[in-house]
Structure formats: C-alpha cells, structure tokens
C-alpha cells in the first residue's frame, strides 16, 4: 500500500527536523563566539529551527529545504556593514563553515532587504541572514503583512500588501556593494505580466479556433 503524500511529508519532515537538531549542537556555539569576536549580535536563537508543522507545510510546495536551521546576525547601525560581514565570514571559514550561496537583497524598491547566505558545516546546509538594526526592525515590522500576503489569494489585496511593505523597506539606506543585488519584482508587476500573458494566450487560441 502506498503512503499518502501527506503522510510521507510528515515522516520526511520529522527526519529533517532531527537532522537540524543534531547539527545545531555544533553550529550554534561557533556562531555565538563569532558574534562575540566581531562585536555583532546573534538574535532569534529561540526560533533557529523551523517547527515540524512548518517543515511539513513547506515540503508540500518544494522538495528541498536549506533553511530549516537559520540564524540572524545584526550589525549595529553606524558600523561599516561590508567590513563586518567580511569579519564574520572569515571567522566562520576559519572554523570549518563554508559559504556556498549568497543572495544580496539590499536593492532599492525591494519589499525585503537583507543579505541571505547559505553555509555548510560537515556537509549540512543552513541559512544565515545578515541585517542592520534598521533592516531587522523593518523585517519584523512587516512580518504581519508578509504573512497576510503569503496566504492571500486575492490579487488586488496582494498587490496592495506588496506596496505597503515597500513603503516601509524604502526607509532602509544600507547597501552591500560586494556583490550584485537581486531586484525583487513587486507582486503588482508579476501579476500584471501574468495577466498580459494570459490575455495573449486567449487571443491566440481564439484565432486558432476561427481557422
């Protein structure tokens, strides 16, 4: 008898959770020391591992998850952001933590701004987000809107929520110049392109039906 997809996801989620818990025991102490050495802050440790329910829910939408274990460093406002990121990265590399992927979202007009990186330790991949006090505060301030945006199925509402989040994130002035930034399209732009494509497809289909 085949297992249901839901049941299979729950079993897989439990395995992934246990794996994150095992690796966290070795990774967290290194990151705590990294924050002390570089005079930065490691925040949100109570929420560093996603819940079983969250993992299971995400597995219904994607097969691979590299952010079950995730951390956040805050670099104080007034301190040179790029230099502190380098200091932190150098410390991590010296302690057998390897950078594998970096996503720089400190772009103008983005509804989210931060530096999101993926690292590996003993073959296990996890996420670290780098923020300033300001960008972290904005992230937390827009969390409610983001959750509403994520679960909404109304295009107009999603567009308005996207604009609302951008109105707040535009206050962030930090830039990370060491790598190109990833410009996130607003939901309004994406929805507009989708509607245009659908309209074009319907027009083509009608023409074919008349032939």
Distance CA 21, CA 69 (A): 8
With bands split at pLDDT 50, 70 and 90, how would you rate the model's confidence at 141?
A: confident
Tokens (6 digits) for 65: 């998850």
Tokens (6 digits) for 101: 């992927």
CB 23 within 8 A of CB 121: yes
DSSP class of 186: P
Give 34-70 pLDDT, tens digit per residue: 999 999 999 999 999 999 999 998 898 887 899 999 9
Give 98-123 pLDDT, tens digit per residue: 999 999 999 888 888 999 999 999 99
Out of 22-26, 80-84, 140-144, least confident range: 140-144
CB 174 within 8 A of CB 81: yes
Of 161, 158, 177, the closest CA to residue 169 belongs to 161
> What is the set of domains in the chain, with CATH numbers?
5-210 (3.30.460.10)
Out of 19-23, 26-30, 61-65, 78-82, least confident range: 61-65
Of 138, 149, 148, 81, the closest CA to residue 115 belongs to 81
**pLDDT for res 201:** 44
Task: Show contacts of 29-36: CB within 8 Å, 24+ apart.
Answer: 30/92, 30/95, 30/97, 30/121, 31/71, 31/73, 31/92, 31/128, 33/91, 34/73, 34/88, 34/91, 34/92, 34/95, 35/73
């Amino acid at each position: 008898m085949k297992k249901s997809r839901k049941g299979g996801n729950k079993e897989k989620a439990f395995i992934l959770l246990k794996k994150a818990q095992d690796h966290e025991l070795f990774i967290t102490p290194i990151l705590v020391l990294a924050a002390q050495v570089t005079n930065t802050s490691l925040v949100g440790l109570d929420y560093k591992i996603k819940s079983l329910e969250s993992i299971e829910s995400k597995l219904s939408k994607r097969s691979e998850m590299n952010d079950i274990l995730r951390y956040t460093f805050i670099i104080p406002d007034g301190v040179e952001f790029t230099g502190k990121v380098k200091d932190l990265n150098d410390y991590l590399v010296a302690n057998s933590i390897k950078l594998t992927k970096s996503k720089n979202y400190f772009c103008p007009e983005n509804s989210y701004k931060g530096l999101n990186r993926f690292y590996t330790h003993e073959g296990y991949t996890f996420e670290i987000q780098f923020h300033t006090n300001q960008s972290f505060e904005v992230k937390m301030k827009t969390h409610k809107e983001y959750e509403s945006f994520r679960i909404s199925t109304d295009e107009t509402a999603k567009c308005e929520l996207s604009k609302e989040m951008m109105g707040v994130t535009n206050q962030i002035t930090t830039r990370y110049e060491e790598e190109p930034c990833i410009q996130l399209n607003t939901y309004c732009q994406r929805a507009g392109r989708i509607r245009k494509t659908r309209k074009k497809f319907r027009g083509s289909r009608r023409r074919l039906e008349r032939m």
